[in-house]
Chains A and B, each alone.
Chain A
Amino acid sequence: MHKKRLFSQIAVASVAALILAGCSSSNEAATNSGVPDVPMMEKLGDGEGQVNLVAWAGYVENGSTDKNVDWVTGFEKETGCKVNVKIGSTSDDMVALMKTGEYDVVSASGDASLRLIYGGDVAPVNTDLIPNYADIFSNLKLQQWNSVDGVSYGVPHGRGANLLAYNTDVVKPAPTSWASVFDANSPYKGKITAYDSPIYIADAALYLMNTQPDLGIKYPYALDQKQFDAAIEVLKAQKPLIGEYWGDYLKHVASLKSGGTVLGTTWQVNINLAKSEGVKVEGIKPAEGSTGWSDTWMISSKAKNPNCAYMWMNHIASPAANAGVAEWFGEAPSNAKSCDLTADKNHCATFHAADDAYWENVYYWNTPTETCLDGRTDVKCLPYAEWVKAWSSLRNS
């Protein structure tokens, strides 16, 4: 027991040091970082004939949903790797699935990726083996949620910001800040929505970052006990304002359409869909920025089909496939060349794909760990399991 504690203290200290040092340190530190030492693939061999994926719905389409939406069949023919996919409905699902070791590749959101890295469930990615990696937007590469110590753990896939939706007929004047969804005297009480996931605690933290600077929140995914409690208080106070929390897009868009929701968290794709249904709704990124997501294709440390896995990661990062996914799913593509290939020529503009300034104040989902992700070493932060527990408790309080 004692030994274990000592080890974890060393690990905590070394990870903290690493994060402070940013991306500058050398490779030798990798083994000290608390990240399990998983070897990286050196050379690409022949395909194994299949690859098992865990992915978000809509990320791996083989024409079975709509015969015009297919970026899998071509890959299968070209490489001989049959693609088996398991849809993960939440990040938590995906982590659990990857822990089984049955899957080769996962499209992990930021609230899953670090968990996978620290759990030793995914391997570093040799980006030299992925020619299309070169065309990925540089502000998506080697980020906090997809790399450790300058070593890439995956291929960035696509991204989106969590926007503030408001019904233009009802909500006047138009909101400019997230404060509108936390306002105890909101005239829209009972018609406000929030994303139904523990990660939404970060939205409250982002709000506190701007309204209560005394708390010293620097990064919404690094909250010590005091900051965390403050964020939970904000959410408790918000609860009476909420009409519904949403998780699946259908429920959310249906609610926007019926007028049951007039204000709250949304995604660009939901706004587009609601608009196409004739709803008077807009989605904005408030001045103070917002949370968001950036997904990463990662390879399992126990991959049984590593060659096909690398081929898949290269394929899905290719301009054509990347454009296909981005349009079908409704997100900003990660490959700079994708923008020329989308059917809707405005797609990249709508989703701000190449607009670097737009993404500057987007805090992509990340996995909170006990070691504060903002580099503080004097306090412990609350790990994600505590966020989940607190969210369960909040939702039933």
Chain B
Amino acid sequence: MQSIANTMHKKPKLRLVALLTAPILWLVVAYLGALATLLVTAFFTIDSFTGNVVQTFNLGNFQDMFTDAAYKNVVLRTLGIAISVTVICTILAIPMAFYMAKIAKPKSQKILVALILTPLWASYLVKIYAWRTMLEPGNGVLDWLLGPIGFNSPGFGGPAIIIGLSYLWLPYMILPIYAGLERLPNNLLDASGDLGAHNWYTFRRVVLPLIFPSLVAGSMFTFSLSLGDYITATIIGGKLQMLGNVVYQNFSINLPFAATIATIPVTIMAIYLWMVRRTGALASL
């Protein structure tokens, strides 16, 4: 033991290799390998007789995807939903996180964090079915509660998907922003206030730029989880489908086509990650 420890201490390279081997093997070989294998499948096709994958290179799937307007619709719709969910979560999360981090007393701060964490343990499906009960047009909870004051449920469809997904992912937005704000020294805000800045000005010019990485980190959850979701759309989406539904539907009968569709969210996320990599957001997840 002692000798191993000494050797390890004297050879930092060896220690580095020991530390890196397992995680890199896991992420690169297992994960990226699986991903690459899937994406390569997009260029294959299936035997129309047996349904088995035939490994001959062709671009037919991509041609189908780009020529059929339906796929353009679903990409735009999914992007629209994912962006809306992110915006809504951000708007809801910032004041909540700000109150929790900067105004609440330490004791209530803990309780508030617990209150935000709790819904993460209620099952995804149960929560979405609860939203079905909430949104049911005519006799849902929303109409029952708010009908008397003239507010009606939007029913099932795009708005319902946006509400449902915002609900599911809101805690994932609040928590990083809260953590970001907590790290922010109070005297910074005081300084800005002392210099005569209004609350709003301080927030916009001092707080917002500093918590921007946390915002981006939260958006990675809200945006990417929305981008790939297919269950919420099935349950409260009315007639609408999202990209995930198309992938899921084609997966077992036509893997190459499912893989072709899957290249879209992968590309979108790759661009997104590339854009945010410099903000320090990746470390704030």
Contacts and interface: CB of A to CB of B under 8 A. Distances in A.
Contacts of A385: 46, 48, 51, 253-254, 257
Interface stretch (A59-67, A204-212, A251-259): A251-259
A392 B250 contact: yes
Given A243-B239, A247-B234, A118 B50 contact: yes
A141 to B, nearest CB: 25
Given A247-B234, A370-B48, A389-B64, A395 B253 contact: no
B220 to A, nearest CB: 26
Interface string A366-381: 0001100000000000
A92 interface: yes
B249 to A, nearest CB: 5
B74 A396 contact: yes
Nearest to A385: B254
Given A251-B235, A392-B70, A259 B138 contact: yes
Interface residues of B, number: 37
Nearest to B239: A242
A186 interface: no
B52 interface: yes
B49 A34 contact: yes
Contacts of A239: 239
B252 interface: yes
Interface stretch (B36-44, B90-98, B129-137, B210-218): B129-137
A258 B136 contact: yes
Given A115-B51, A396-B71, A92 B238 contact: no
Nearest to A255: B136
Contacts of A242: 239
B98 to A, nearest CB: 38
Interface in B143-183: 156
Contacts of B137: 258, 260
A254 B139 CA distance: 11
Nearest to A259: B138
B139 A258 contact: yes
Interface residues of A, number: 43
Interface string A353-397: 000000000000000011000000000000111001101111111
A247 B56 CA distance: 35
A244 B136 contact: no
Interface in A249-294: 250-251, 254, 258-260
B136 A92 contact: no
Interface in A96-122: 96, 115, 118-120
Contacts of A20: none
A248 B239 CA distance: 14
A392 B230 CA distance: 13
B70 A393 contact: yes
Interface string B216-241: 00000000000000000011001101
A393 B66 CA distance: 12
A391 B56 CA distance: 25
B69 interface: yes
A11 interface: yes
Given A34-B49, A120-B50, A370-B49, A388 B254 contact: yes
B73 A396 contact: yes
A120 B249 CA distance: 23
B246 A392 contact: yes
Contacts of A119: 50-52
A244 B239 contact: yes
A393 B129 CA distance: 27
Contacts of B138: 258-260
B251 interface: yes
B194 interface: no
Interface of A: 1, 8, 11-12, 34, 90, 92-93, 95-96, 115, 118-120, 196, 198, 239, 242-245, 247-248, 250-251, 254, 258-260, 369-370, 383-385, 388-389, 391-397
13 contacts: A1-B56, A12-B49, A254-B132, A254-B136, A258-B138, A260-B136, A369-B49, A383-B49, A384-B253, A385-B257, A389-B257, A392-B249, A397-B69
Interface of B: 46, 48-52, 56, 64, 68-71, 73-74, 77, 129, 132, 136-140, 156, 234-235, 238-239, 241, 245-246, 249-254, 257
Interface pairs A-B: 9 shortest CB-CB: A96-B252, A92-B252, A396-B74, A393-B70, A396-B70, A385-B254, A397-B70, A383-B48, A370-B48
